[in-house]
Homo-oligomer: A and B are copies of this chain.
Amino acid sequence: MYPEPIKRFIDVFSKLPSIGPRQATRLAFYLVNSGKSHIEEASKIIAGLKTIKICSECFFIHSNVDKLCNICGDNNRRKDIVMIVEKETDLISIERTRKYNGRYLVLGELTKSGVLESVQKLRLSGLKNLIKNRDGQIEEIIIGINPTTYGDLNAMLISKEFQGLAKKITRLGRGIPTGGEIEFADEDTLGQALERRN
């Protein structure tokens, strides 16, 4: 039914995160109807992503000549506090608070299996080696992983791996979100808010 270029588009783009075959099909038709110059622009913009580099220390993206991203290359940021996050967008959310002055490790999205992928294991051992070679022990490791069931499981496993490599291993606070109402908070959230009252 579809010409080959559209088939190929649907095939590749339907595999991107949260784009299914239906949305990929709609996108293909949208782009075709938007005209050749818009298609050309979209194609060039994707190609432009090839220039983006990945930081050799924290694995966040950057465009520097150096191997390090803006955060790892910033000597004003504390080296002795590292937050382990899943996604780049989590890092960005934390940065937006302007309340964190440490480093990061971007781990990549955790699977629901509770088993770390090999690239994630590599990144964690990279951080372990960095700590061992640099200071032996750092001040704090913050596990900035979503407080979901499998997030909690992974956080526990990661926490074990870094035993002894940091004076404190913490997780982000849990409780009622700002603007939330006690009446509508679920039992677990409320339980956590009680346990972690301060």
Chain A positions near chain B (C-beta within 8 angstroms): 1, 3-6, 8-9, 12-13, 16-19, 22-23, 25-33, 36, 39-52, 54, 61-63, 87-89, 92, 95, 108
Q: A16-B30, A29-B61, A88-B29 are in contact. Are A5 and B40 (CB under 8 A)?
A: no
Question: Secondary structure of the A side of the interface?
Answer: helix
Question: How far apart are the CA atoms of A37 and B195 in the complex, in Å?
Answer: 49
* A32 pairs with B49, CB closer than 8 A: yes
* B3 pairs with A62, CB closer than 8 A: yes
CB closest residue in chain B, given A37: B50
Candidates B9, B36, B47; contact of A40 at CB < 8 Å: B47
* B46 pairs with A3, CB closer than 8 A: no
Q: Inside 8 A of A39's CB, which chain B residues have their CB?
A: 46-47, 49-50
**21 cross-chain CB contacts under 8 A:** A3-B52, A5-B45, A5-B48, A5-B49, A5-B63, A8-B45, A9-B45, A16-B27, A18-B26, A19-B27, A26-B87, A26-B89, A28-B49, A29-B87, A31-B46, A32-B49, A32-B52, A33-B108, A36-B50, A42-B46, A43-B46
**CB of A98, distance to nearest CB on chain B (Å):** 12
CB closest residue in chain B, given A35: B50
